[in-house]
């Protein structure tokens, strides 16, 4: 039974909700529950889009420092891959994933947001990778996903200094995609996720696979990967339905087949 991370589904939208007051510290237990929720969201055919949300006050302020401070190299050498893979489980959800960021998204919290596809941020939120101030570095994707998102120079500056940035700077450098009043963050994420509630699940999954995997390939290999995914969709009922509906000038009824 999950204690700190819950998955709820309404009208085709899944919400992965972190609930570990006061700051949603990402302890080992939270990480494992996050992995389980991500896998469940990926497997649930009734879920067409996912929101990751920490509540009205805070997204996630980072790792559980008290827990980590008691670990030495032997413990962390086995724990670190599981930490990274927990966040990777979120990144691998084959559906659009939206981070609804309130309050703080620092350290592991920022890395969790980076594992999402889209980030909608409160106007008073603070983001950053402050691990360097503890004598360590980001260990759950920050050194890898952040430079891919905002470029290596900006990412190095944030990681090297460990400074927090506000929502407007995060928007300007491309770390977040939209900034809204704090009280509207969840509803804005929900409205965006709702766009996909009637979408074509197999096409959305293929689109995400094409972009995410393609970024790791040389362009010719990426183009070949795209072609393979594109052609594969012609074996689906949804592709036939979508093109037939277009020809008949009606709204398609996608079933995920």
Which positions are annotated as active-site residues?
111, 131
Instruction: Single out the residue of 4, 36, 29, 26 nearest to residue 17, CA to CA.
Output: 4
Instruction: Give the CA angle between residues 37, 180, 113 to the nearest 5°.
Output: 30
Q: How far apart are CA 114 and CA 182, in angstroms?
A: 19
Angle in degrees, 0-180, between the axes of helices 237-247 and 201-214, rounded to the nearest 10:
110
Helices marked H in 44-151 — which ranges? 65-69, 73-91, 108-114, 142-150
Q: Using N-to-C axis directions, what is the helix angle for 201-214 and 219-232, rounded to 10°?
A: 170
DSSP string, 183-252: GGHHHHHHHHHHTTTTS-HHHHHHHHHHHHHHTTS-HHHHHHHHHHHHHHGGGSHHHHHHHHHHHTTS--
């Amino acid at each position: 039974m999950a204690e700190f991370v819950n998955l709820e589904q309404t009208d085709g939208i899944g919400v992965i909700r972190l609930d570990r007051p006061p700051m949603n510290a990402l302890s080992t237990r939270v990480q494992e529950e996050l992995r389980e929720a991500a896998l469940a969201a990926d497997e649930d055919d009734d879920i067409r889009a996912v929101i990751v949300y920490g509540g009205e006050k805070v997204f996630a302020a980072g790792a559980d420092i008290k827990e980590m401070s008691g670990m030495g190299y032997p413990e962390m050498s086995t724990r670190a891959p599981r930490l990274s893979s927990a966040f990777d489980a979120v990144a691998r959800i084959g559906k659009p994933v939206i981070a609804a960021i309130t309050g703080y998204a620092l350290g592991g919290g920022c890395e969790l947001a980076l594992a999402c596809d889209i980030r909608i941020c409160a106007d008073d939120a603070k983001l950053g990778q402050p691990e360097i101030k503890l004598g360590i570095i980001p260990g759950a994707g920050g050194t890898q996903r952040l430079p891919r998102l905002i470029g290596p120079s900006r990412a190095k500056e944030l990681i090297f200094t460990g400074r927090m940035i506000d929502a407007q700077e995060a928007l300007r450098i491309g770390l977040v995609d939209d900034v809204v009043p704090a009280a509207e963050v969840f509803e804005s994420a929900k409205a965006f996720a709702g766009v996909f509630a009637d979408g074509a699940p197999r096409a959305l999954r293929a689109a995400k696979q094409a972009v995410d995997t393609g970024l790791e390939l040389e362009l010719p290999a990426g183009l070949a990967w795209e072609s393979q995914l594109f052609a594969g969709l012609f074996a689906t009922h949804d592709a036939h339905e979508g093109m037939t509906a277009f020809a008949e000038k009606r709204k398609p009824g996608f079933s995920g087949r």
